[in-house]
Amino acid sequence: MEQLTKSYRNGAPALDHVSFRYEGAGAIGYLGPNGAGKSTTLKLLVGLLLPTAGAARLNGVDPRENRQRALWDVGAVIENPEAYPSETVFDALNRVGILRGLDTREIDQEIDRCNEELGLPQLGMRCGWLSKGQRQRVALAAARMGDPRVLLLDEPTDGMDPTSRVQVRRLLQTLRKDHLILMSSHLMADVMEVCDRLIFIDSGRILLQDSTDAVAGRTESRLVEVEFATPVGPSAFEALKPWIQDYARVSDRRYRLGFDGRAETRSRILEESLRLGPVRSFTSAFPALEDAYLEVIGANPAG
Amino acid sequence: MAASRPTRRRVSVFTQWAVIASSQFRNYLRTYRFLGLVAFVGVVAGLWLFFLVEAGTGIVRLSFLNSVSEFLTDYTQSTPLWIILAAAFFGGDALSVDFNTGAGYYTLVLPVERSTLLAGRYASATAVSLIVVLEYTVFGVLGASFAFGRNAIPWGSLGTSLALAVLFTLAVVSVAFSFSALFKAPATGVLVTILVLFVALTTLQNVVQITGYEPWWSLNYAGGAISSALDWAFTPKQVIPVGGGKYLTAWSASPAEGAAIMAAYLVVFLALSIVLYQRKESRG
């Protein structure tokens, strides 16, 4: 993408001179609050939107100039894709298979593979009868038909139950070894496990691009979770008041403590916690990435 | 999992078109609007045929339909109305559905040019509309066979009339596709097609005829050629005295003129549909 800009009729830029270029294999997490420009970027990439300025290219081809070539090796799940309601799951995937250049035998094999990877609903079921999670799995399967090298995924686990989410995460972890995945998500656990690189966007502008490890290392977590070997009453935490900003009881043995994020404060909380009773574990309550997200997006006034 | 990648072959534009057209066609056949329209036409035309049979052939003569030509000309005057209804139902939302529902996010991300998608849908919308036209025509032929005998059917003129009906369907579907590409809400495309073709064009055409001019620019006027083709006593221009020494000129499109107008609408509105659809964005 080169200096990609998209403005709507009200003049506000949904995307403001955004540039990035990725090739080879890997998974890139595209992060930002609602309305930041994530879906707009993906739509511009596949030609669902037309840029006001700049250009988007997939496999070196602008989808405005040649959709067939640009999207030939691309699978995309954007917003909430729906096949024809009266069409069966098999027919919906079969159609995609033919358009991606597969023969009948290969289509059957691909549908079997997608079924293994994603746990598809019954193939004879009409698409109009599917639940949101099932529709999303069919959409992911459609994106995987023919095994395209590039996957553009907008909230790919949206509407899925926890088991399916884990299944999709594992699939993406495997695929990132030999596919290029650009994935937007609000779910930090998904991003953390799947993506090796991250792009933070807000108000149509890219705020940060870096590896997941580097981004996670930018901040210390501001929440720790302490688990005691024996029950501890909430009143005991009065002694920690000088170092903690607040605390929440998770169970009679586990408490979540908010603090200023400094390493020395964290050490002091650990020392004081040990005075309250034997400590079984002392960990960051949230992944560091979540804090990094808040720091990057929060630092932006519009965030 | 990633051990063997399937071998993918280049897909011809014709194959893409055929896949899009057949899947859309199957989808139309399962919709309530198709089943409803087929049932409605069947009931209306079926009742007409039933009453004709019940009343006997004399009723035809009483209606001053003295020849099979007059009978079929009279019957096919309603054909354009059914075509407009069918084309609006199947073409009025054929493109807007991509921008109003999740259908576009499933289809528009596939490696297919939008012009091919449009061509496939255009073929299927035309095909289902023609099923309705054929159904209506079959009832007419049955009625004519009953009233005038099977040997009396003018198959040549009927073939010309049907060919004009096909051309008219193509033209009306083009108009419906333009509105479908223009508006985002599917119902708007359907409604505007019906309003423009049923109400606006008909009204304008009548006003222009009263002032003594031929409404050669009207698609509805061209649709009249479907029945003109069956009229043995066809005259393109009739001057009718209306009293007080005044005259009204009534124009009828000949098959050739009707075909030319229909072809012009087809080309202009199909081109417009392609331009609009190519530039339509998924903003939802």
By the 8 A CB rule, do A207 and A20 touch?
Answer: no
- What gap in Å lies between CA A283 and CA A257, rounded to an integer? 10
The first and second tokens of residue A200, run together, are 């933070």
Sign of CA dihedral A122, A128, A133, A139: positive
- What gap in Å lies between CA B8 and CA A293, rounded to an integer? 40
End position of a domain, from candidates A216, A241, A258: A216
Number of other residues whose CB lies within 10 A of the CB of residue B252: 18
CATH number of A259's domain = 3.30.70
- What gap in Å lies between CA B284 and CA B279, rounded to an integer? 15
- What gap in Å lies between CA A224 and CA A220, rounded to an integer? 10
According to DSSP, the residues that pair with A18 across neighbouring strands are: A4
B241 DSSP 8-state letter: E
- What gap in Å lies between CA B174 and CA B276, rounded to an integer? 12
Predicted pLDDT at B283: 81
Output the CA–CA distances (angstroms, integers) from residue B209 to A67, B203, B215, B240, B241, in the order listed: 48, 10, 7, 12, 14
Residues of chain A scoring pLDDT < 70: 217-221, 285-288, 299-303
A294 domain residue, yes or no: no
Predicted pLDDT at A35: 86
Structurally, how many domains does chain A consist of? 2
The first and second tokens of residue A122, run together, are 């019954």
A136 domain residue, yes or no: yes
A183 domain residue, yes or no: yes
By the 8 A CB rule, do A39 and A78 touch?
Answer: yes
| Among candidates A8, A71, A84 on the partner chain, residue whose Cβ is nearest the Cβ of B110 | A71
By the 8 A CB rule, do B141 and B153 touch?
Answer: yes
B96 DSSP 8-state letter: T
Asked if the Cβ–Cβ distance from A81 to B26 is below 8 Å, we say: no
- Does residue A54 sit in the same domain as residue A199? yes
Angle value at C-alpha A293, between A292 and A295, nearest 5 degrees: 60
- Does residue A180 sit in the same domain as residue A208? yes
- Does residue A168 sit in the same domain as residue A73? yes
End position of a domain, from candidates A216, A251, A276: A216
Asked if the Cβ–Cβ distance from B5 to A147 is below 8 Å, we say: yes
- Does residue A183 sit in the same domain as residue A266? no
A301 domain residue, yes or no: no
CATH number of A129's domain = 3.40.50.300
- Among residues A48, A49, A41, A53, the alpha carbon closest in space to that of A3 is found at A53
Residue-range definition of the domain harbouring residue A11: 2-216
Q: How far is A74 from chain B (nearest CA, A)?
A: 8
- What gap in Å lies between CA A99 and CA B207, rounded to an integer? 50
- Does residue A79 sit in the same domain as residue A173? yes
3 state SS of B239: strand
The first and second tokens of residue B34, run together, are 């198709």
**pLDDT by 10-residue block (mean), chain B, 284 residues:** 76 96 94 95 94 84 81 94 96 92 94 97 97 96 92 94 98 97 92 93 90 92 95 86 83 95 98 96 82
Asked if the Cβ–Cβ distance from A99 to B110 is below 8 Å, we say: yes
Phi, psi for A209 (deg, rounded to 5): -135, 125
DSSP E strands: which ranges in chain B? 237-243, 246-251
B150 DSSP 8-state letter: G
- Does residue A70 sit in the same domain as residue A211? yes
Q: How far is A89 from chain B (nearest CA, A)?
A: 13
- Does residue A77 sit in the same domain as residue A118? yes
A-chain CB neighbours of B5 within 8 Å are: 147
Q: Taking each helix axis as running N to C, give the angle between helix B186-194 and helix B79-91, from 0 to 180 degrees, rounded to the nearest 10.
A: 160
A300 domain residue, yes or no: no
A297 domain residue, yes or no: no
Asked if the Cβ–Cβ distance from B1 to A110 is below 8 Å, we say: no
Q: What is the 3-state secondary structure (H, E, C) of chain A?
A: CEEEEEECCCCCEEEEEECCCCCCCEEEEEECCCCCCHHHHHHHHHCCCCCCEEECCECCECCCCCHHHHCCCEEEECCCCCCCCCCEHHHHHHHHHHHCCCCHHHHHHHHHHHHHHHCCCCCCCEHHHCCHHHHHHHHHHHHHCCCCCEEEEECCCCCCCHHHHHHHHHHHHHHCCCCEEEEECCCHHHHHHHCCEEEEEECCEEEEEEEHHHHHCCCCCCEEEEEECCCCCHHHHHHHCCCCCEEEECCCCEEEEECCCCHHHHHHHHHHHHHHCCEEEEEECCCHHHHHHHHHHHCCCCC
- What gap in Å lies between CA A62 and CA A69, rounded to an integer? 9
- Does residue A42 sit in the same domain as residue A136? yes
- Does residue A171 sit in the same domain as residue A259? no
Predicted pLDDT at B121: 97
A295 domain residue, yes or no: no
pTM: 0.86
Predicted pLDDT at A236: 84
By the 8 A CB rule, do A191 and A289 touch?
Answer: yes
Residue type, B220: N
| Among candidates B6, B15, B114 on the partner chain, residue whose Cβ is nearest the Cβ of A109 | B6
End position of a domain, from candidates A216, A240, A266: A216
- Does residue A84 sit in the same domain as residue A157? yes
A298 domain residue, yes or no: no
- Does residue A191 sit in the same domain as residue A227? no
List, as ranges, residues 69-88 from A with C-beta within 8 Å of B. Answer: 69-72, 74, 76-84, 86-87
B-chain CB neighbours of A103 within 8 Å are: 9
| Among candidates A70, A86, A99 on the partner chain, residue whose Cβ is nearest the Cβ of B11 | A99
- What gap in Å lies between CA A208 and CA A198, rounded to an integer? 8
- Does residue A181 sit in the same domain as residue A36? yes
Residue type, A37: G
